[in-house]
Amino acid sequence: ALSYDHRIIDGADAARFLGAVKARLEEADFAGDLGI
Instruction: Name the residues annotated as catalytic.
Output: 6, 10
CA distances 8 to 14, 18, 19, 25, Å, are 11, 16, 19, 26
Phi-psi region of 3 (alpha: psi -120 to 50; beta: other; left: phi over 0): beta
